[in-house]
Chain A
Amino acid sequence: MEWETVIGLEIHAQLLTNSKIFSGASTAFGAEPNTQACAVDLGFPGVLPVLNEEAVRMAIKFGLGVGAEISKKSVFARKNYFYPDLPKGYQISQFELPVVGKGHIDVQLENGDVKRIHITRAHLEEDAGKSLHEDFNGLTGIDLNRAGTPLLEIVSEPDMRSAKEAVAYLKAIHSLVRYLEICDGNMQEGSFRCDANVSVRPKGQSKLGTRAELKNINSFRFVERAINFEIERQITLIESGGTVTQETRLYDPNKHETRSMRSKEEANDYRYFPDPDLLPLVITEDMIAAIKDDLPELPAQKRQRFMEQYSLSAYDADVLVSNRHMAIYFETVVKESGAQPKLVTNWVTGDLLGALNKENLDITESPISTAQLSKLIERISDNTISGKIAKTIFESLWNQEGNVDEIIEKKGLKQVTDNSAIEALIDKILADNPGHVTEYRSGKDKLFGFFVGQAMKASGGKMNPQLLNELLKQKLAQKA
């Protein structure tokens, strides 16, 4: 039987506010345990929550970014359950009336197609603390620094049909929240997390199959692997006569498997009800309008513009706009160097991105500034250096050995553009290789490359390739 996979994602994005969603404590990551939790975060008797307006502004930004309806009135509710890292015994979240309603995002698939993924809702809530089960000799340590950090939970429709589509959607949201500067997108530190609802059904059937919710899939790679594992598991199960049960499953990246955490029957009854400590959240048209005016150009618009304005392929545009700062970097270099956008694209998405990825750096941490890369590309365009030499200079720039012109000067990398010098070198090479010359002249055109190679080798790569080609062709033809 042919099977169809149905996937929906729940994404939790930690919002980049300075203080927590309902208290004044700091949200900075990595502090000593329990040093960034005040009486409110600790759920002490008598404390009350006060909503952080910045978190609301960020939620609205997101809503506008996915073309969603912003609720004029939304309500905070209590989600009640007991857990040691949940200090109040309830999480303040939004249940019936979320701040962001239905929206959508267009996702670029690998084959170049664009697919629209619908977003059901996005709501504000507070994060819980962390339970640390290691290092306490059978006891559990509780760190409440994270408790009360603002989260935006983004719920998609079950619109994705493969693990690859799910990853593409996740990447699109990841890129969007960073564009909007509402989340740092750091999956390792858990500031961008995702749960996946996965089910399968016979192709053509409209009714959804029973779903499993996958947790602990906190990298793009794990999302894809966990979903693919789960699809296989469900299909094998059904084909061998079993049925899928609705449950929460934990992904184990070491064993590369998912295993049951709890079934629907064991699930909590959260006893949601409106939080009487908080008034309904009222958002005015003026507030929405002001935030709209302030929105940056979003990835989809930017991709379109890059393809038109710079004549880039969909692929190149996609890579460039995936990170807002990379797009800014690219445009700055195009402007400063005045070079062909395609040449700049190759440098930014090729050498630079490769080097950054190797050292796990973001483009904002690049050791090579836009001014330096612009200068480098400029020196290729004005024939001071060859593209090959440029790669050497790029490495020197990366290692902070000086600026472009200093490095060219210091290392004597200036391209040879003097005709007589080139001619002299050619003459020498032709004289040293009479056999090859004869063969070439008898029709073995492929040997042209041999002469170019010899000349470049002899000049240490500094020979201007166009000039060399031209003069070499002349010389070989002359004495025929």
Chain B
Amino acid sequence: MAHKTIAQLSNELQTKKISSVELTQLFLDRIKRFDKQLNSFITVTEEQALSDAKKADEERSKGNAHPLTGIPFAQKDIFCTKDIKTSCGSKILDNFISPYDATVVTRFKESNTVLLGKTNMDEFAMGSSNETSFYGTVKNPWDLERVPGGSSGGSAAAVAAYLTPGATGTDTGGSIRQPAGFCGISGIKPTYGRVSRYGMIAFASSLDQGGPMARSAEDLALLLNVMAGVDEKDSTSIDKPVPDYTQTLNNSLNGLRIGLPKEFFESGLDNEIATLIQSAIQEFKKLGATIHEITLPNSGLSIPAYYVIAPAECSSNLARYDGVRFGYRCNEPKDLEDLYKRSRSEGFGNEVKRRIMIGTYALSAGYYDTYYLKAQKIRGLIRQDFVDAFKNVDIILSPTSPTTAFKLGEKTSDPISMYLSDMYTIAVNLAGLPGLSIPAGFIKNLPVGLQLVGNFFDEARLLNAAHQYQQVTDWHTRTPEGF
């Protein structure tokens, strides 16, 4: 039962093959059994889950069933949950209990999903391996010596190991897609503005976007149906009707124009991954798609631009963690400056500090034009590359990451090589476009992710293409040994 998709579980609940309480207990038991080795959860909300499940069963028996009613679910620990610890993977928020629910959390509550707990993540979502978490590294279920990716590594590992049927993630530079790829699951980063950021702890506000992670494109569609939509509490959310993403899953791909950016198939890409991506392209051809080479001439500038803009925004977003009103405060501060300095230097980890310092520098008088403004101009060029490309194609296809999951500790001392693991995903955030990752094969028993990028608000088309691919392949149904 635990290995079923959300769509299947929804059906089991509807046909009364199992109750939500039973299903919830099943997943809680699995978390107890497996999460000691994986470390994918920061907080498990057992009591809350069982009472949510009881309520969901009651609602279902009253006939108030939403497709997600009673489905166990996990929230990345970046989404604020009322009365439940929200740490954002940081010591500085280790004691933080939010007084309110994030809009995304409210929406899941309203459809009566069951909250199993809060998943582990890189500290403040800054990382590509989950190794920056204050709560310790998450292990990849496919190989416990390897990273699950990051920053939504806890969500990815938990879904891959069947500790939850689905989870939320957030994606600032690839944080949903890269861990989905590393763990062999499906994940979508929607268009910037599609999902409310209210209550989603900010890393880089102009890039952050929440999205679902699950085991199939169909499940992503069910989850995105709940998450998407304008929110008056988020001025950057966009007031545009949300289609029912499940309705278009079975559309034909006949005539779908798929673009391959030549820059993404050049240097740095693992040969075996390139071969797997070629086979996926063949599958899409068989499904009726046409393949076109395209160019994204400025994509090589994505990483430098990103590592100015994201740290700049983070240096300001993280100023509120000052030991004054909430969160970690150092012992016995001598004076105000001591309170700030020690609370922040003891409360933040190294990667967060590195980015705060880079960002502070980039915004400083005399450097603003050279770094921040220039990076914003590059961002405009990158966005324009995509706009031009989408004049001729419907979807852009590439690998999600240049390699499969790397070993724990392999890149921790070399931030630049860590940053490069997001080279195919970051441009998508800079442009604000939707992108998803689905499994497309294995190399030495490690999953390989395939990235599909769509035009603004074209999530339905991405999910449709991914679902069709998953009808003719079974990569997404593979189970890591022992789980």
Interface residues, chain A, with chain B CB atoms under 8 Å away: 39, 42-51, 78, 80, 82, 84, 87-90, 140, 142, 269, 271-273, 276-279
Question: Which listed residue (B319, B326, B372) contacts A89, Cβ 8 A?
Answer: B319
Number of interface residues, chain B, beta carbon within 8 A: 43
- Inter-subunit contact A80/B316 (CB<8 Å): yes
Nearest-neighbour CB distance to chain B for A101, whole angstroms, equals: 22
B198-235 CB contact bits vs A (8 Å, 1 = yes)?
11111011100000000000000000000000001111
Given A42-B325, A43-B325, A273-B372, 12 other A-B contacts at CB below 8 A? A44-B100, A45-B86, A45-B326, A46-B80, A47-B198, A50-B234, A51-B235, A78-B316, A271-B316, A271-B368, A277-B202, A277-B236
- Inter-subunit contact A39/B233 (CB<8 Å): no
- Inter-subunit contact B324/A279 (CB<8 Å): no
Nearest-neighbour CB distance to chain A for B199, whole angstroms, equals: 4
List 9 tightest A-B contacts by C-beta distance, closest first.
A89-B319, A276-B206, A276-B205, A271-B363, A46-B199, A43-B320, A45-B201, A46-B80, A46-B201
- Inter-subunit contact B198/A88 (CB<8 Å): no
- Inter-subunit contact A45/B316 (CB<8 Å): no
Question: Which listed residue (A45, A50, A89, A269) contacts B93, Cβ 8 A?
Answer: A45
- Inter-subunit contact A46/B363 (CB<8 Å): no
- Inter-subunit contact A84/B316 (CB<8 Å): no
Nearest-neighbour CB distance to chain B for A254, whole angstroms, equals: 26
Nearest-neighbour CB distance to chain B for A442, whole angstroms, equals: 88
User: With a CB–CB cut-off of 8 A, which chain B residues contact A46?
Assistant: 79-80, 86, 98, 102, 198-202
- Inter-subunit contact B235/A45 (CB<8 Å): no
Kindly identify, within residues 45 to 96 of chain B, every residue whose CB is under 8 Å from any CB belonging to chain A: 79-80, 86, 88, 93, 96
A44-B99, A47-B199, A271-B363 known; A277-B319 Cβ under 8 A: no
Q: Does B197 contact A (CB under 8 A)?
A: yes
Interchain residue pairs with CB less than 8 A apart (7): A39-B100, A50-B234, A84-B324, A87-B325, A90-B316, A272-B363, A273-B312
User: With a CB–CB cut-off of 8 A, which chain A residues contact B137?
Assistant: none
A-B interface pairs (CB < 8 A), number:
102
- Inter-subunit contact B368/A273 (CB<8 Å): yes
- Inter-subunit contact A273/B201 (CB<8 Å): no
User: With a CB–CB cut-off of 8 A, which chain A residues contact B232?
Assistant: 50
Nearest-neighbour CB distance to chain B for A212, whole angstroms, equals: 21
Q: List the B residue with the shortest CB-CB distance to A24.
A: B233
State the CA gap A142–B360 with chains docked (Å). Answer: 26
User: With a CB–CB cut-off of 8 A, which chain B residues contact A273?
Assistant: 312, 316, 363, 368, 372
Q: Does B459 contact A (CB under 8 A)?
A: no
Q: List the A residue with the shortest CB-CB distance to B93.
A: A45
User: With a CB–CB cut-off of 8 A, which chain A residues contact B201?
Assistant: 45-46
User: With a CB–CB cut-off of 8 A, which chain A residues contact B313?
Assistant: 276
State the CA gap A142–B322 with chains docked (Å). Answer: 14
- Inter-subunit contact B236/A50 (CB<8 Å): no
State the CA gap A48–B340 with chains docked (Å). Answer: 23
Nearest-neighbour CB distance to chain B for A274, whole angstroms, equals: 9
- Inter-subunit contact A87/B336 (CB<8 Å): no
Nearest-neighbour CB distance to chain B for A309, whole angstroms, equals: 48
User: With a CB–CB cut-off of 8 A, which chain B residues contact A47?
Assistant: 198-199
State the CA gap A84–B86 with chains docked (Å). Answer: 23
Q: Does B364 contact A (CB under 8 A)?
A: yes
User: With a CB–CB cut-off of 8 A, which chain B residues contact A45?
Assistant: 80, 86, 88, 93, 96, 98, 201-202, 320, 326
- Inter-subunit contact B98/A50 (CB<8 Å): no
State the CA gap A43–B323 with chains docked (Å). Answer: 12
Q: Does B365 contact A (CB under 8 A)?
A: yes
- Inter-subunit contact B235/A48 (CB<8 Å): yes
Kindly identify, within residues 311 to 350 of chain B, every residue whose CB is under 8 Å from any CB belonging to chain A: 312-313, 315-316, 318-320, 322, 324-326, 336, 340
- Inter-subunit contact A82/B319 (CB<8 Å): yes
A44-B99, A90-B316, A142-B324 known; A279-B199 Cβ under 8 A: no
A44-B98, A45-B201, A48-B197 known; A84-B336 Cβ under 8 A: yes
Question: Which listed residue (A48, A84, A90) contacts B319, Cβ 8 A?
Answer: A90
Nearest-neighbour CB distance to chain B for A327, whole angstroms, equals: 40
- Inter-subunit contact A278/B319 (CB<8 Å): no
User: With a CB–CB cut-off of 8 A, which chain A residues contact B206?
Assistant: 276
User: With a CB–CB cut-off of 8 A, which chain A residues contact B235?
Assistant: 48-51, 277-279
Nearest-neighbour CB distance to chain B for A145, whole angstroms, equals: 14
- Inter-subunit contact A271/B360 (CB<8 Å): yes
Q: List the B residue with the shortest CB-CB distance to A51.
A: B235
State the CA gap A358–B383 with chains docked (Å). Answer: 66
Q: List the B residue with the shortest CB-CB distance to A81.
A: B319
Kindly identify, within residues 98 to 133 of chain B, every residue whose CB is under 8 Å from any CB belonging to chain A: 98-100, 102
A50-B232, A271-B363, A276-B205 known; A80-B324 Cβ under 8 A: no
Nearest-neighbour CB distance to chain B for A268, whole angstroms, equals: 10
Nearest-neighbour CB distance to chain A for B82, whole angstroms, equals: 11
Nearest-neighbour CB distance to chain B for A437, whole angstroms, equals: 86
State the CA gap A82–B325 with chains docked (Å). Answer: 13
Q: List the A residue with the shortest CB-CB distance to B231.
A: A48
A82-B322, A273-B368, A276-B205 known; A48-B234 Cβ under 8 A: yes
State the CA gap A46–B233 with chains docked (Å). Answer: 11
State the CA gap A394–B440 with chains docked (Å). Answer: 93
State the CA gap A196–B313 with chains docked (Å). Answer: 33
- Inter-subunit contact A89/B336 (CB<8 Å): no
User: With a CB–CB cut-off of 8 A, which chain B residues contact A48?
Assistant: 197-198, 233-236
Nearest-neighbour CB distance to chain A for B145, whole angstroms, equals: 33
State the CA gap A87–B234 with chains docked (Å). Answer: 19
Q: List the B residue with the shortest CB-CB distance to A277.
A: B205
Nearest-neighbour CB distance to chain B for A278, whole angstroms, equals: 5
Which of B205, B234, B319, B360: most chain A CB closer than 10 A? B319
User: With a CB–CB cut-off of 8 A, which chain A residues contact B326?
Assistant: 42, 44-45
- Inter-subunit contact B320/A89 (CB<8 Å): yes
Which of A88, A269, A273: most chain B CB closer than 10 A? A273
State the CA gap A272–B366 with chains docked (Å). Answer: 12
